[in-house]
Amino acid sequence: MSEFDVNRSQQTDKSTTGRWVLSHLSHHKLLIIGMFVGAFGNAALAAVVPVLIGRAFDAALASPADLRTIGLMALGVIGSQSVRAVLQLGRNFSSAVMGERLERDMREELYISLLGKSTAFHDSQPVGDTMARATNDVHEVNLLMNPGVNLVAGSANFMLMPLLVAPSYHPQLAAAPLFFMVTYILAVVRYLRVLQGVADRVRRAFGTLNGRLAEAIDGIELVKSTAQEVQEIGLFNDNATGYRDAAVEQGKIEARFLPLLLLGITQGLGFMHALYLFNLGQIDVGDVVAYMGLLALFGFPTFISLMAYSRVSLGLAGARRILELMNAETLLDENATGHQAEIEGAVTFENVAFGYADGSPILQNISFAIVPGQTVAIVGQTGAGKSTLAKLINRTYDVGNGRLLVDGMDVREWNLAALRRQISIIEQDIFLFSRTVGENIAFGCPGATQAMIEDAAKAAQAHDFILNFKDGYETVIGERGVTLSGGQRQRLALARAFLTRPRILILDDSTSAVDSATEDQIQQAIVQAAARQTTILITHRLSQIRWADKVVVMRKGRMEAVGSHEELMASSVAYRRIFEQYEAIEE
């Protein structure tokens, strides 16, 4: 299930990491062909050099020396290496483009997936770790292709050339290349098996390090206000040490790379074998020189694979972390084919229960109804479940038991986008983007004109303070609105809600940071808007409670009482107690 989905032209197989990467690569067949053709041509033309040099040696040892053959061999080396350079360029270009496209496509797919995850998922997922996966891990997949797979493909072709060409001098000369290939493959398989676990640990350690750093920066005000800089530095050092230790462990594994030893043994054995055949008169000096040149080709896969396989292993570890995030279960479905209509504003709770975790209910047996156009105040002590109750209406969370109806239809039967477009929730913790004031107000209504934006700002009593900014509505505010006061942020959020003209407006203590005079002006705007919408107020403001048509009293996740202010003052002890506490607060 996905809370939000986009029909993408490129569909991918996310059943396993390997299939996911291959499904992305399948969209770049020409680049793959270019890379492998270039890799084979590069290796084949590299093998031409020792062959030509061997013939030149024989020509030089002839009596008299065959200068014409030597010259032709020299021209052959120049010509073959010129062609090789072109093929190498094509190979590197293909792999580089493929890596960049892979990174782009995977990052887009991950971003779409993250937008589709439910709020419950994001509540439990550290932002820093998510950012590490969306940036560093995705880039590791790029490096998996270039230089990783690019070098692996190149080294594999270099491995083949001695085995293919050496027997042309003498069939027995295939023994040393065959020995190296078999032992090399066995060593690399073992190396990758050991490296995989450490590579996963490196990527996890980086995610932990990044997550803790993001938390400390996001909560920098709390860190400084409580003088906890030293403690946070200590925690960061612990995480950095964990990342370092994982990286050092990876380095130790790479240092024990066995093919480096195998290369020396192969060259020694091959040289002895070639000299033995030369003494028997079965091969010439030029053949020995050419053969040793062919064995030298093993140097490229041996030395470069140390880095190449490390890049592949880290890239696959990054891909696993990305896929783990994308395949994580989300509990909401957008119901793309669900009901779509203009909301009238009727809301009905029928024995609703909800808990953020199994076995820990937050709300139990909530039943009440709101008629279209009605203003309802939800009151209760902190932790009574007021905000949670409101977030069930637009399916930020889904009810656990019972039903929640909007216009007589279960909210789960509505198309999620159609439902949410017509419901606005303004919370006490206002989120604003690091964009212009005008863009923040128009966020829920992208096609809004400047006049519409200003009208909404005037209704929210924000227009005057916006004009006091140097650039007015074009002023760029800091991330999360940190350059604004609490009251200014709340008024911008109200303007944003007014602009969308919601059918259901939910205000979660959204005027707590404004003064009484401004609150009175905002309340007048809300009253005017309430004539065309259902309004739900989560508040401790007595003026708003008295103004409401209906008051719902919450206590410890249960509905204690419901009725008008006058009815509850006469019949509910719990409401009178809460009301008296609110009176004491305002006094």
* Cα–Cα distance measured from residue 542 to residue 379, given in angstroms and rounded to the nearest whole number: 10
Q: How far apart are CA 12 and CA 44, in angstroms?
A: 35
97 plus 199 within the same structural domain: yes
The whole-angstrom separation of Cα 577 and Cα 452 is: 43
Specify the pLDDT at position 584: 59
β-strand pairing of 550-555 with 558-563:
antiparallel
**Residues 6+ away with beta carbon under 8 Å from 438:** 450, 453, 473, 474
Q: What is the mean pLDDT of the chain?
A: 87
151-165, 410-424, 473-487: lowest mean pLDDT where? 473-487
Give the pLDDT confidence score for residue 441 in this predicted structure: 92
| Cα–Cα distance measured from residue 457 to residue 495, given in angstroms and rounded to the nearest whole number | 5
Residues 119, 180: one domain?
A: yes
Write out the two tokens for 427: 């919370």
Residues 138-143, mean pLDDT to the nearest whole number: 92
Strand order in the sheet with 504-508: 423-426, 504-508, 534-538, 375-380, 550-555, 558-563
Question: Of 70-74, 482-486, 499-503, which range is least confident?
Answer: 482-486
Total domain count, the chain: 2
* Domain contains 6: no
Q: Give the pLDDT score at 170.
A: 93
Please give the backbone phi and psi of residue 47, each rounded to the nearest 5 degrees, phi first.
Answer: -70, -20
CA distance 179 to 472: 76
Convert the pLDDT of each residue in 154-195 to its tens digit: 989 999 999 999 999 999 999 999 999 999 988 888 888 887
* Domain contains 404: yes
Could you identify the residue written with the tokens 């002895």? 272
Which of 112-126, 157-171, 423-437 is modeled with the greatest confidence?
157-171
Same domain (yes/no): 258, 147: yes
Radius of gyration of the chain (CA): 35
Quick one: 403 and 262 in the same domain?
no
How far apart (Å, rounded) are the C-alpha atoms in residues 141 and 100? Answer: 9
Per-residue pLDDT band at 482 (split at 50, 70, 90): low
**Domain CATH code at residue 547:** 3.40.50.300
> 450-459 and 516-530 helices cross at what angle (nearest 10)?
120
Same domain? 377 vs 271: no
**What tens digit of pLDDT does each residue of 194-226 get?**
877 888 888 888 888 888 887 787 777 777 777
* Residue 365, pLDDT score: 92
pLDDT at 7: 58
Inter-axis angle of helices 150-165 and 175-218, nearest 10: 170
| 554 located within any domain | yes
Cβ burial, residue 386 (10 Å; 0-12/13-18/19+)? buried
The residue whose two tokens read 């009596």 is 63
Q: Does residue 397 lie within any of the structural domains?
A: yes
Instruction: Give the side-chain half-sphere CA count within 13 A for 143.
Output: 18
d(CA 121, CA 127): 11
**In this structure, are 294 and 352 located in the same domain?**
no
Using CA atoms, how far apart are residues 485 and 475, in angstroms rounded to an integer? 15
3-state secondary structure of 368: strand
420 contact partners, CB below 8 Å, separation of at least 6? 394, 395
Mean pLDDT along residues 283-306: 90
CB of 236 closer than 8 Å to CB of 243: no
- Residue spans of alpha helices (H) in 531-572: 542-547, 565-571
Asked, for residue 341, whether it belongs to a domain, the answer is no
Query: Are residues 393 and 284 part of one domain?
Result: no
CATH of the domain at 240: 1.20.1560.10
Separation of alpha carbons 317 and 198, rounded Å: 9
Is the pLDDT reported for residue 434 higher than 80? yes
pLDDT of residue 512: 65
Best mean pLDDT range from 216-220, 570-574, 575-579 = 570-574
Helix (H, G, I), strand (E, B) or coil at 486: helix
CA atoms within 13 A on the CB side of 516: 5
Does 198 lie in the same domain as 135? yes
Structural domain harbouring 260: 17-327
Question: If you average pLDDT over residues 561-584, what whole number do you get?
Answer: 83
CB 341, CB 503: distance < 8 Å: no
Cβ-Cβ contacts under 8 Å for 357 (sequence gap 6 or more):
none
**Calculated CA dihedral for residues 524, 530, 532, 534, nearest 10 degrees:** 170
Are 303 and 397 within one domain? no
Task: State whether the Cα torsion 423-427-432-437 is positive or negative.
Answer: positive
Alpha helix (H) ranges present in 219-283?
220-225, 229-255, 259-279
Could you tell me which of 329, 335, 331 has the C-alpha nearest to residue 356? 331
| CA quadruple 226, 227, 230, 236: dihedral sign | positive
Query: How far is the CA of 136 from the CAs of 29, 104, 142, 193, in angstroms?
Result: 26, 13, 10, 23
**Mode of pairing for the β-strands spanning 534-538 and 504-508:** parallel
* Residue 65 clears pLDDT 60, i.e. is over it: yes
The number of angstroms, rounded, from the C-alpha of 7 to the middle of its chain's C-alpha atoms is 19
Same domain, 316 and 413: no
Query: Looking at residue 116, what is its pLDDT?
Result: 81
Give the bridge partners for 501, in sequence order.
none
Residues 219, 368 share a domain = no
Is there a cis peptide before residue 301, judged by omega within 30 degrees of 0? no
336 within domain boundaries? no
Query: Is the Cβ–Cβ distance between 120 and 356 less than 8 Å?
Result: yes
Question: What are phi and psi for residue 485, nearest 5 degrees?
Answer: -75, 165
Residue 94 has pLDDT above 90, yes or no: yes
- Answer yes or no: do 289 and 373 share one domain: no
Indicate the pTM of the whole model: 0.76
Confidence check: pLDDT of 428 > 80? no
Q: From the DSSP assignment, how many helices (H) and strands (E) are in the chain?
A: 23, 10
Query: 3-state SS of 377-420?
Result: EEEECCCCCHHHHHHCCCCCCCCCEEEEEECCEEHHHECHHHHH
Query: Starting at the edge strand that comes first in sequence, how are the strands of the sheet with 363-370 ordered?
Result: 363-370, 347-354, 401-406, 409-410
pLDDT band, very low/low/confident/very high, at 513 (cuts 50, 70, 90): low
* Residue 5 lies inside a defined structural domain of this protein: no
Residue with tokens 């293909």: 94
CB contact set of 303 (below 8 Å; sequence gap of 6+): 260
Phi/psi at 375 (5° precision)? -105, 125
Closest CA to 489 of 523, 440, 422: 440
- Residue 127 domain flag: yes
